[in-house]
Amino acid sequence: SDFKSRLIAILSHDIKSPIQGLFGVIDLLDRGAAKPKELSALMKDLKIKLRGNYEKINDLLHWSTAGLSKDGESNEVYRVQEALDGAVEDMALEISSKSLQLKKGNSSDLKSFGDKKIVRTVLRNLISNAIKFSDEGKAIEVSVREEEKEVLVAVKDQGVGMSDEDLNRIFEKAKMPGTGSAGETGSGIGLAICYDLVKRMGGRMWASSS
């Protein structure tokens, strides 16, 4: 279905970047370029990347087999904080690599109805985008709160900001690729697919710049 195709597209997008990092780590080990003191850190990074990709592949298997409703979601009542905590954990290595300060609120009592795995995937992409456009040492804030009978999840970074024109196009599939603060590249398709997924689940997604 179109819904499954979107899920596969966004998770494939998620998996690509860590694989590139894995190649870099393996190349260092293969060439013996890493000093003995660096080996422990490299192996730790390797394990984190492998674990993250393993979980994303499990998500793909989850959505390609049983447990899906006719609309494509595996609906359940879940704690939104759990999805957010999982997304932050998925991006721990990337956050550390830029020495970013992560400020995370806690609203463990707030619940929502939907597919927690999809929400975690969307949040992972939002955090990834915040990391991409954050300079080293800056802060990223993620929070969950209730607002007018809705659960609002926010990801805020200290990037350079965006023009009104770019904000209006940020969720378009045809949006031009962007380059991160450390030269990271990306197609911009992740946010567009996230927007579609959230809308399909009956939610709203928007961006602002100050």
The residues, any chain, with a CB within 8 Å of residue 207's CB and separated by 6 or more, are 162, 167, 170, 171
Asked whether 138 and 158 are in contact (CB, 8 A), the reply is yes
Q: Which of 83-97, 103-117, 143-157, 172-186 has the lowest mean pLDDT?
A: 172-186
| Residue that wins the pLDDT comparison between 52 and 130 | 130
Mean pLDDT score across all residues of the chain: 77
Residue 67 has pLDDT above 70, yes or no: no
Annotate 161-195 with DSSP letters as a single string: ---HHHHHHTT-TTPPPEE-TTS-EE-SHHHHHHH
Q: What is the distance in angstroms between the CA of the first residue and the CA of the last residue of the chain? A: 39
The residues, any chain, with a CB within 8 Å of residue 127's CB and separated by 6 or more, are 87, 88, 91, 95, 140, 142, 155
Q: Are strands 139-147 and 185-186 parallel, antiparallel or unpaired?
A: unpaired
pTM of the entire predicted model: 0.69
Residue 184 has pLDDT above 80, yes or no: no
pLDDT at 189: 60
Tell me the pLDDT tens digit for each residue of 75-101. Answer: 789 999 999 998 898 888 788 888 899
